[in-house]
Amino acid sequence: MQQKAARRWFVRGRVQGVGYRYFAQKSALNLGLRGYTRNLDDGRVEVYAAGTPEQLDEYAGLLHQGPRWADVHGVTQEEAALERHTSFEIVG
């Protein structure tokens, strides 16, 4: 069994109101990741995901692209503690 890891990303740019959270959710589910995404009050989107390091690396690349209508200016990534999630949800 592959070791699980978790990461948290903070995405800046035109990422609210453009389907970014739905893109993040669909991409995560396609990769078999668990976690959540939510809008932050400062205009960023927070994304938390748990999976294998390889899954998380692939996901990070997708988060830098975003959906067609988004304009991603930057993504900050940090290691995160493993949390228990049964799926990947949009919260908040």
Residues with catalytic function: 21, 39
Amino acid (one-letter) located at 6 = A
Asked if residue 24 lies in contact with residue 63, where contact means CB atoms within 8 angstroms, the answer is yes
Tokens 């078999």 belong to 32
CB 16 within 8 A of CB 37: no
Instruction: Give the Cα separation of 20 and 8 in Å (integer).
Output: 15
